[in-house]
Chains A and B, each alone.
Chain A
């Protein structure tokens, strides 16, 4: 069965610092991978997705993630944190061709201080 592990339930950074949120997955087939963000009292918003092709994926709001098959990782980064980035971030994998039935990690709460 596929699974997703997010290392660190809480990450704190200063404004302007590098953001690194870690995600490892287990999958017996090439996966579809996603990062979503959730702001308080809202649904989830897609940041980026990996299907096939280029392993460095660029998303919205300056975020990017690199798919590393050898490490089964899909870490999310942003060069310079902004106060508005404070939210909960979820890594997810889909076990099917449609990219649905998402299996989520437990989430990482990102705090940004000034």
Chain B
């Protein structure tokens, strides 16, 4: 069974640009979550999509947005990039039912560098 796939693995952008990251979840998983990992702030939850709807949202500015498609694949977009957006962005998928303690499986991440 294929794992969570994130593309691209590495990105270099300049301030003010926008970027789109992609995540393909494990087959059968309906929930996709995004996390930002930085040395200073650690791992922070961005948002979760379940069956094409945003189900949970973290405390990030509106420049960060996402969506989920009918095949459960997800994209996140960051507009007007700032230097502080440089981070490893991790995607995680799980079945998503509210039956307690889903196991989230993480992709290897997309490392974004903003110059």
Contacts and interface: CB of A to CB of B under 8 A. Distances in A.
Interface of A: 32, 36, 41-46, 49-52, 90, 92, 94, 96-107
A44 B101 contact: no
A46 B104 contact: yes
Contact of B102 (A90, A100, A104, A105): A100
B47 to A, nearest CB: 8
B96 to A, nearest CB: 6
Nearest to A49: B101
A98 B96 contact: yes
A96 B90 CA distance: 20
A43 B102 contact: no
A9 to B, nearest CB: 10
B16 interface: no
Contact of A99 (B4, B45, B90, B104): B104
Judged by DSSP, the binding face of A is loop
A98 B45 contact: no
Contacts of A44: 90, 92, 106
6 contacts: A43-B92, A43-B109, A98-B50, A99-B102, A100-B48, A101-B48
Contact of B101 (A36, A99, A101, A104): A99
A25 B69 CA distance: 34
Contacts of A96: 56, 98
A50 B100 CA distance: 10
Given A42-B108, A45-B106, A97-B98, A104 B43 contact: yes
